[in-house]
Chain A
Amino acid sequence: DIQMTQSPSSVSASVGDRVTITCRASQGISSWLAWYQQKPGKAPKLLIYAASSLQSGVPSRFSGSGSGTDFTLTISSLQPEDFATYYCQQANSFPHTFGGGTKVEIK
């Protein structure tokens, strides 16, 4: 299985801050990576797919980059509704695997 490692596991930030989350794959996955946002008690929501493509309806302050083994999710200006846990997911090979999550908390 491909292991997905996210860092940091949590980050404290203020509204308006730029936040960057990293995801590293245990082997190359080209651009077969997605990012999800999960709020407490809710299902995950697809934000970014194919490493850098913004899902329809997702605010443009979210962006993704990277290829191969190293990927980044950036929130350019953190909004109150962005406080949540973020997961990366690889789709390069079965089984699909997820990172351990990064919790974005209010500073």
Chain B
Amino acid sequence: QVQLQESGPGLVKPSGTLSLTCAVSGGSISSSNWWSWIRQPPGKGLEWIGEIYHSGSTNYNPSLKSRVTISVDKSKNQFSLKLSSVTAADTAVYYCAREWIQLWFDPWGQGTLVTVSS
């Protein structure tokens, strides 16, 4: 079955850019699914960041849109997140997930904690 794995630096300096990659295995990123990033600050709830289709089409959360870029690399079967001008408020566990019918998130990656600190 499809599995997702996030990777990237666990520490980013304030005002820097957070960059993460989600590797998809057990299935093709070019299937009829959207692929999303979701984050969860420590001890808090879930926030959807944005999504991408293998064609490169994207949708972003308006609250983050000015700072977010999601891209896809079909040759590597992976997609990526860049979040610019980060502050401590961007400290969170970042999850990637497959969007089933562009509605529901299943499955999810295990998540990766990114801390914004100098």
Min CB distance, A78 to chain B, in Å?
22
Given contacts A43-B95, A94-B59, A95-B63, contact A49 B48 (CB under 8 A): no
Please provide the chain B residues from 92 to 118 with a CB less than 8 Å away from any CB of chain A in the complex: 95, 97, 100, 102-111
> Which of B104, B107, B109 is the one whose CB lies under 8 Å from A91?
B104
Q: A94-B59, A97-B48, A98-B47 are in contact. Are A43 and B104 (CB under 8 A)?
A: no
Beyond A43-B95, A43-B108, A98-B47, 12 additional pairs, beta carbon < 8 A? A42-B110, A43-B111, A44-B95, A44-B105, A46-B100, A46-B104, A87-B46, A91-B102, A91-B103, A95-B63, A96-B48, A101-B46
Q: How many residues of A contact B (CB 8 A)?
A: 22
- Chain B residue at smallest Cβ distance from A99: B45
Q: Which residues of A contact B110 (CB under 8 A)?
A: 42-43
B residues less than 8 Å from A1 (CB atoms) = 62
Is the CB–CB distance between B46 and A44 below 8 Å?
yes
Q: Interface majority SS on B: helix, strand, loop or mixed?
A: strand
| Chain B residues packing against A (C-beta within 8 Å) | 36, 45-48, 59-63, 95, 97, 100, 102-111
Q: Could you say which residues of chain B place their CB within 8 Å of the CB of A99? A: 45
- Which of A49, A95, A97 contacts B104 (CB under 8 A)? A49
Residue of B46, B61, B63, B110 most packed against chain A (CB within 10 A): B46
Find out whether the CB atom of B63 lies under 8 angstroms from the CB atom of A44: no
**CB-based contact A95/B62 at 8 Å:** yes
- Known contacts A43-B95, A43-B111; decide if A49 and B45 are in contact (CB<8 Å): no
Pick the contact of B61 from A36, A44, A87, A95 — CB < 8 Å?
Answer: A95
The residue in chain A whose Cβ has the minimal distance to the Cβ of B108 is A43
Query: Please, which residues of chain B bring their CB within 8 A of the CB of A36?
Result: 105
